[in-house]
A and B are shown apart, each in its own frame.
Chain A
Amino acid sequence: MSVVGAGVIWVALLGPVIVLLDHISGSAIASALTQPGALQPVVTSLESGLVTLGVLALICTPLSWMLARGKLPFPRVWEAGVLCSLLLPPLVIGLLLVFMVGPYTPIGEILTDLHQNATNTFLALVIAEVYESAPYYLLGAQAAFASVDPRLEEQAGLLGDRPRRVFRRVTLPLAAPGLAMSLAIAWARAMGAFGAVIIIAYHPYGIPLEIYTTLQETGLPSALPYALVLLVVALPLPLAAYIWSARAARRRRG
């Protein structure tokens, strides 16, 4: 396939972004973003996204490693579970989360005892984003760990490294590019999370909900600038992951 062919496909895939750039003016962006409290959704999205990534890295990384290394009995059952949460539409996840962590559920009552609330709070937003993005990270991280040759880990052990040290010195560095890419994808999912968010975390507004409510209240022209903002604030992290992964691969080639 020629460069031209690739270019046509690329432009076609970028169609919505190009249309977006075509349909907003600088003044519209300026007026939308200078309104009082206009930057709050951006901050909320970034904060909840970062917390989500932290939670995923902390709880899903070990699980994905165990899945990749066949440390769990009946691995297909575990994977089927991950796929189930991937297959559920985000809106349905949101509805089910209401039954799971809503105010009159056992978990909700525990949260109440802790003076927390998982409805229309920052916590709810993070929960929604975690559930929407976790399967993407989990599957990506599993593939990243599976790509690490277990014989290298075995060799590191024979050279005298205990398992935790092997993980830190061999497994993690070798899986890191793949893990970074998976985190980037999870980040994109978290930043764009909408279906589950609108059900259990209508407030505080992140950028997707800000777009939705602005669209409903004042129409498309004033909603579009937030789409551009979403792109601008969400792009650096995955882009950095891409660049870093490519550098790691180049370094390895020597």
Chain B
Amino acid sequence: MLHADVEVDRREFTVRATLQVAPGERLALFGPSGAGKTTLLETIAGLVQPRRGLISVNDRVLTSTDPPVRAVPSWQRRVGLLRQNPGLFPHLSVRDNLRYAPSVPRSGNEMSSLASVLGIGDLLSAMPARLSGGQAHRVALGRLLLAHCDVLLLDEPYTGLDASLRRTLTDLVSTLVAERGVPAMLVTHELGDAQAFADRLAVLDHGELLQVGAPNDVVLRPASRRVAELIGYLGFVPVGDTQAGVHPERVIAGAFGDRGLVLAGVITACRPAGAGWEADLRVGESAITCRLADKPSAADGEFTVTVLDPPYFGPDGSALPDAPVEGAGQMGARSGLWRAP
């Protein structure tokens, strides 16, 4: 069990977070660049000293600013950190990189089996300068996994890798984390990576943990408008004195009052996106973007869409537990067609 409750001063703001990651659990830390995600990992790894905090792994206190004060140095923490830059030792072969950590089992069986799982079995004698970006990442991951750390921290390790390799590595790490029962944290600003990897998703913005929960809950029920914006809700439509969050991928064409909020608006732009279409819709004063399977035809100038079960936010930006019912004359709660005034 990894437990971290820290306050870390950065130049612009203070990173505050309280997190628990159970053995074998995978937590994704999601947030925009500069939110303090890396700072949080570096604090757990012992590279950054928090102003105040307590960090423990399996009841072993690594950092404590309260008496008895402790600051276990990073080389004694057994916390593995994989960064975006693979950081292979250029003077050592792939084999020597893999078995660098003093804690690597001497037998070598594990190394060869892990190397073949990672697809680097043929590269053991190569020098890091000869490796492609993807190969270097796999070696770095192998080196980290062979070190048998008590905690795995992955700091955007998949940036710049192709989609299939990302998925392979994500699956491999997930399996190993479960097998070994170590807590794992992944820092990413790609929501897809976070969802593919994590049991739980934590959203960090400007040093504050905004929401922690199951990935689906966070994505479908963001705790605040700010979380919704970070998660990818591109439009917000006023409904009475609340606002409905519109995620482009949670919109279907047509009016289905029983499935969510029906909106009618004017299409201002339409472009191909992936295998479907992306349309910008003006609904009253609001602009929303939606992903549709078919190219929208707006013969009558007005196009009707249904926003599937949207989250609603109050005037202070916090999420409402349920869809608003007041002002039902204008809109029939979650159902019915709402026309912008």
Contacts and interface: CB of A to CB of B under 8 A. Distances in A.
B137 to A, nearest CB: 14
Contacts of B127: 251-254
A157 B102 CA distance: 11
Contacts of B33: none
B42 to A, nearest CB: 9
A174 to B, nearest CB: 6
Interface in A111-169: 149, 151-152, 154-163, 166, 169
A157 B80 CA distance: 10
Interface string A236-254: 0000000000001001111
B81 A254 contact: no
Given A152-B87, A152-B89, A174-B90, A160 B129 contact: no
A163 B46 CA distance: 14
A174 B126 CA distance: 17
A170 interface: yes
A9 B78 CA distance: 56
B55 interface: no
B100 A156 contact: yes
Contacts of A252: 90-91, 127, 129
A159 B147 contact: yes
A155 B87 contact: yes
Interface string B40-55: 0000010100000000
B130 A173 contact: no
B174 interface: no
B103 interface: yes
B79 A158 contact: yes
Contacts of B77: 158
Given A154-B47, A156-B89, A163-B75, A254 B126 contact: yes
Contacts of A163: 75
A174 B92 CA distance: 10
A169 B99 CA distance: 13
B166 interface: no
Scoring A149, A154, A173, A174 by chain B CB atoms within 10 A of each residue's CB, the highest score goes to A154
Contact of B45 (A151, A158, A174, A254): A158
A254 B129 CA distance: 7
A169 B128 CA distance: 16
B101 interface: yes
B247 interface: no
B143 A151 contact: no
Interface string B89-115: 111000000001111000000000000
Contacts of B45: 158
B91 A160 contact: no
A166 B129 CA distance: 21
A160 B89 contact: no
B143 A159 contact: yes
A174 B45 CA distance: 24
B195 interface: no
Nearest to B153: A158
A160 B47 contact: no
Contacts of A166: 75
Contacts of A156: 89, 100
Contacts of A170: 89
Nearest to B147: A159
A96 B100 CA distance: 50
Contact of A151 (B79, B85, B100): B85
Contacts of A174: 89-91
Contacts of B74: 154, 157-158
B83 interface: yes
Interface in B60-90: 73-81, 83, 85, 87, 89-90
Contacts of B75: 157-163, 166
A129 B76 CA distance: 43
Interface of B: 45, 47, 73-81, 83, 85, 87, 89-91, 100-103, 126-130, 143-144, 147
Interface of A: 149, 151-152, 154-163, 166, 169-170, 173-174, 248, 251-254
16 contacts: A149-B87, A155-B81, A155-B89, A156-B89, A156-B100, A157-B74, A157-B75, A158-B79, A159-B144, A159-B147, A161-B102, A163-B75, A251-B127, A252-B90, A252-B91, A253-B127
Given A158-B77, A161-B75, A254-B126, 5 more contacts: A157-B74, A159-B100, A159-B102, A174-B91, A252-B129
For the complex of A and B, 8 pairs with smallest distance between CB atoms: A254-B127, A254-B130, A159-B101, A155-B87, A157-B75, A173-B91, A160-B102, A157-B74
